[in-house]
Amino acid sequence: RTLPMRRVPLGRGIHNEAWLQTIVHNNPSILPVEDIEPGFLRLIPIAKEVPVAHGYVDNFFLTANGEIVIAELKLWRNPQMRREVVAQCLDYVAALSAMTYDDLEHACLNGEAIQEPKPKSLYELVEHWPDVLSEEKFIDAVAFNLMRGRILVIAAGDGIRQETHSLSDLLQSLTSAQFTFALVELAVYERGGDYLVCPNTLLKTETITRTVFSNGDVSRGGKSGQDLVTAVRSKAQKSKTISEIDFFESLETNLPGTTDVLQGFLERLSGYGVYVDLKGALNLKHERPNSR
C-alpha cells in the first residue's frame, strides 16, 4: 500500500542545522559519496564541529583507507549565503591542508560527538572497521591526503537547487582548488516519527592534477620540509577524481611505467564506447545497445 509522507520544512522547530548534522553523523550513508568518488570506502563518522584555523567543520569523516571527507550542512536561504558557504569550504580545505596528522588528531578528538569513553588516538575510532589499514599505513595515508589537499567536500542542505549554475561557474574559476567539491540537496520527509532523507547530487567538480615535491616525512610532523606545489590543468588534460588519481599513483608505485600504457589503452577504448567504472578496482564497462 501507499504511505503518504510529509515534506519536512527544514529550519523550523527542531529541524535545524544542528539536527541535520546529527542525522548525517549517525547515518553517513545519507551522503551519496559513491556517486561523487566511487573509489572511496564507506564513511566512518569521526566528529562534529571539528576546530580548524578558519572555524569549525560541521561533519568530519574518514574511510578505512585514510580518505578525508568533510560536510557542511546548511539551510540555504539566499544567494549570498550560498556563495559564502562555498568560500567557507575553501577556507576549511586550506586549513586542513596546512595541518599535520597530529594537528588533525588533536582537532578531531576535541570535536563534538566523539564516542565515550574518549579515545586516546584517532586510529581507535577506525581500527575495528572492515578492511582498515594498519595504524602506520593509516597515519601515512591521512597525512599524505592532508599534504596534497585530497579532500572530498560536500555542501549539503535544502534550497540549493536554484544556485547550482552560478556556483558551478564560481567553482570552475577557482583553478587553485585541489579537492573534489559537491553540492547535495537533502530532501527530508516524515511519517509517524520516522524520517526518509533523499539525497540528490546537483553538482560535483573534478580534481585538478597537482604535483607536490616535499622534503621530509609526510607522516607525523611531516611539514618540516619545504613544499613546492603546482596546480596546472592543460586544455587537453582530462581531470580526474581523487579515486582515479589514487588508483593510478598506486599502480605506478607498484608497476613503474604501467600508468601511461594503461591510460593510452583506456583512451583508445573510449572511442568504442567503453568506459571506466572505478569502485575499489578498475572495471571496464560498455553500454550494449538493445537488440532482438
238 — phi, psi (to 5°)?
-80, 125
The pLDDT, as a whole number, for residue 30 is 94
**Distance from first CA to last CA of the chain, Å, rounded?**
36
The answer to whether residues 28 and 64 touch, using CB atoms and an 8 Å cutoff, is no
CA separation for the pair 27, 37 (Å, rounded):
18
The answer to whether residues 192 and 125 touch, using CB atoms and an 8 Å cutoff, is no
Q: State pTM to two decimals.
A: 0.74
The pLDDT, as a whole number, for residue 126 is 96
78 — phi, psi (to 5°)?
-155, 160
CA separation for the pair 145, 148 (Å, rounded):
5
The pLDDT, as a whole number, for residue 132 is 95
Low-confidence ranges of the chain (pLDDT < 50): 175-177, 208-215, 222-239, 291-292
The pLDDT, as a whole number, for residue 289 is 60
The three grid cell numbers given for residue 80, joined into one nine-digit string: 549570498
The three grid cell numbers given for residue 27, joined into one nine-digit string: 547515518
Spell out the alpha helix ranges (H) of 129-227.
Answer: 135-148, 164-172
Name the pairing type of β-strands 68-75 and 151-158: parallel
